[in-house]
Amino acid sequence: MENIVLVCTAGMSTSLLVSKMKEIAGRNNIEINIEALAQSELKSYNKRIDLILLGPQVKYLLNNLERNYKNSETRFDVIDSIHYGTLNGKAVLNQALTLLNKKVI
Amino acid sequence: MLSKFIKVMENRFVPFASKLGSQRHLLAIRDGFISIMPLAIIGSLAILINNFPINYYQQYMVGVFGAEWTTFSNYIYSGTFSIMSLLIVFSISYNLAESYNNDPLLAALISFSSFIITIIQSGPQGFTIPFKWLDASGLLVAVIVSLLATEIYVKMMDLIEIRKNTNQGTMTPILNRYFSALIPTILIFIIFSLMRIIFAFLGIENIFQEIYRLIQLPLLGLANNLFTALVIVFIGHFFWFLGLHGTNILEPVIQTLYLPALQENIQAVSNNLAVPNIFTKPFFDSFVYMGGSGTTISLLIVIYLFSNSKRKKDLMKLSSTQSVFNINEPILYGLPIVMSPIYLIPFILTPLVLTLSSYFAILTGLVPKTIAMVPWGTPPIISGFLITGSISGSLLQIFNIFIGILIYFPFVKIAERIKD
């Protein structure tokens, strides 16, 4: 099962989005694990990660991800700010599925 | 024209802010402070419990627990907030080594020892650790020592790693790891010990005293100045306006400048002295950033009371509860405020005005200075009381929210007229 991690400064606002994404994934029978993390928790997170999605407010962390994950399978991207602000779980889930080369809903 | 201006700003400042926000050492400092926050908050609240300025309360506590009742909380404070530098050495080093994918525990232990080597003083009864430099007054030295020790450690381990790859050893991995760490560790301690001797030779017995006097004191003076406070609020919100977490990017600076200011206040209160500093970390968090950056709690109230637009009502449903806990990303990106020329003015103006109003409220003595810290998610009105120990702190928050409403109101109306 793919593991997706959403990252923001304290893991608070992304956790709202994660619960929406999980709900939609569940309704469409998509087997996927989604978690919200604070930026400081990401380094010590030791499960396998397939995709990291950054909240738009921490898009500056892309540089760090490029540095840390350049030799790994992990993909990463920034969440669209309007989708983030409107907590559009479906759009963000589709963004994730596209990045994982899966069928969108 | 305005949108062109915003485009130019974006192209110019976003790369700069990104660099600042992703800089490895600044990130380590920021994460280091975040790691010790629970301890700092508990320590500050312990002192608040001792010093609620209510006569009846004080008499009651003395009556129940005896005259020495404050000792209980003083112990907690002394083991947490009071040894902030000791904690920060460990946690910055840990976070920095982790970002290099190196052994964080070993790096943190080495930094901890290096800090002790830097601080011990010889006296008639042998070596002692001067407790007073373990608090925020030793913060700058703590940051420097932890960055320096960790950098040397990581760089040397990398060198050894390269050599090891060329001639494979036969030791078990764990043993190998500690053996190879031996040389860098020794070298780091030699450097720090030698530094002490060189400084002593130059007539500086206490490095902390000198760095505090020469750098940290002037810096704190600069920080506790209305102009600096306004600049910091402005930059933070300007970054936010460009869509980046401004307060987070500035966090290393804010913590290093305004946490020691709070500590001075706490220290003064517990010694029954006049409280010195107006600007502290909780000053900004609780009096200015209510509902999150931009004091968006005022904006939400305006929209809730005066707006008819359906989209905004939907937005309200999404974000009103979080706003109480000072989380406002959905409003910033969803309304949106970010990159919106209409909201640019109130979003930056409101926090600046509230910094001024809070400053004058405290300066004139209407509201006491901040003497405690609460988690940033603590709802307004509650937080105002807790950080000052006085109801007038909450009243100032209500007053500030009201000013925010006055500033946001016309802009919400303009935004609606343009939408229609």
DSSP assignments along B183-230, one per residue? HHHHHHHHHHHHHHHHHHHTT-S-HHHHHIIIIIHHHHHHHSSHHHHH
Determine, for residues B322 and A59 on separate chains, whether the beta-carbon distance falls below 8 Å: no
pLDDT at B163: 66
pLDDT per position as a tens digit, B25-64: 998 998 899 889 899 889 888 888 888 777 788 888 888 8
Q: Which of B95, B17, B18 is nearest to A63 (CA)?
A: B18
| Residue B309, φ and ψ in degrees, nearest 5 | -60, 135
Residues of A with CB under 8 A from a CB of B: 8-9, 12-13, 16, 38-40, 43-44, 55-64, 68, 81-82, 84-87
Structure tokens at B15: 């790369």
Q: SS3 of A1, please? A: coil
Residue B147 has pLDDT above 90, yes or no: yes
Give ∠ CA A77-B29-B221 in degrees, rounded to 5.
130
Residues of B with CB under 8 A from a CB of A: 17-22, 24, 27, 30-31, 34-35, 95, 98-99, 101, 240, 243-245, 248-249, 315, 318, 322, 325, 327, 329-336, 338, 377
Residue B167 has pLDDT above 60, yes or no: no
Residue B166 has pLDDT above 70, yes or no: no
B401 vs B380: CA distance, rounded Å: 9
pLDDT at B270: 85
Residue B127 has pLDDT above 60, yes or no: yes
pLDDT at B172: 58
Residue B284 has pLDDT above 90, yes or no: yes
User: What is the β-pairing status of strands B126-128 and B121-123?
Assistant: antiparallel
Give ∠ CA B141-B147-B152 in degrees, rounded to 5.
125
**Catalytic: A65?**
no
Q: Cβ contacts of residue B246 below 8 Å, gap of 6+? A: B17, B235, B236, B237, B238, B239, B240, B293
Smallest CA–CA separation between B368 and chain A, in Å?
Answer: 30
Domain ranges for chain B: 24-213, 224-419
Residue B187: Cβ within 10 Å count:
13
Interface test with A, best of B23, B99, B245 (most A CBs within 10 A): B245
> Residue B419: enclosing H or E segment and its boundaries?
helix B391-419
Percent of chain B with pLDDT over 90: 45
Q: Cβ contacts of residue B100 below 8 Å, gap of 6+? A: B154
Active-site choice (A6, A8, A36, A49): A8
Which residues from B are below 8 Å from A40, CB to CB? 30-31, 34-35, 95
pLDDT at B171: 55
pLDDT at B10: 77
The answer to whether residues B246 and B235 touch, using CB atoms and an 8 Å cutoff, is: yes
Determine, for residues B327 and A13 on separate chains, whether the beta-carbon distance falls below 8 Å: yes
State ipTM: 0.82
Q: Which residues pair with B128 in a beta bridge?
A: B121
DSSP assignments along B334-386, one per residue? HTT-TT-HHHHHHHHHHHHHHHHHHHHHHHTTSSPPP-----TTSPTTHHHHH
State the average pLDDT over residues B245-249: 88
Structure tokens at B202: 């130059």
Domain ranges for chain A: 2-99
State the average pLDDT over residues B231-258: 90
Which amino acid would we find at residue B368? Answer: P
CATH superfamily of A2-99: Response regulator (3.40.50.2300)
Burial of B4 (0-12, 13-18, 19+ CB in 10 A): exposed
Residue B183 has pLDDT above 90, yes or no: no
B348 vs B366: CA distance, rounded Å: 25
pLDDT per position as a tens digit, A2-37: 899 999 888 888 888 999 999 999 999 988 999 999
Residue contacts between A and B (CB atoms, under 8 Å): 92
Q: Cβ contacts of residue A10 below 8 Å, gap of 6+? A: A38
The pTM (predicted TM-score) of the whole model is 0.86
pLDDT at A10: 83
Matching residue, tokens 């009556």: B63
Give ∠ CA B232-B234-B238 in degrees, rounded to 5.
120
pLDDT at B160: 80
Smallest CA–CA separation between B194 and chain A, in Å?
Answer: 34
Interface test with B, best of A40, A45, A80 (most B CBs within 10 A): A40
pLDDT at B356: 96
Structure tokens at B60: 């009651």
Q: How far is CA A41 from CA A35, A44, B5, B13, in A?
A: 12, 6, 37, 27
Q: How confident is the model at residue B119 (pLDDT cuts 50, 70, 90)?
A: very high
Which residues from A are below 8 Å from B102, CB to CB? none
Determine, for residues B243 and A81 on separate chains, whether the beta-carbon distance falls below 8 Å: yes
Determine, for residues B21 and A58 on separate chains, whether the beta-carbon distance falls below 8 Å: yes
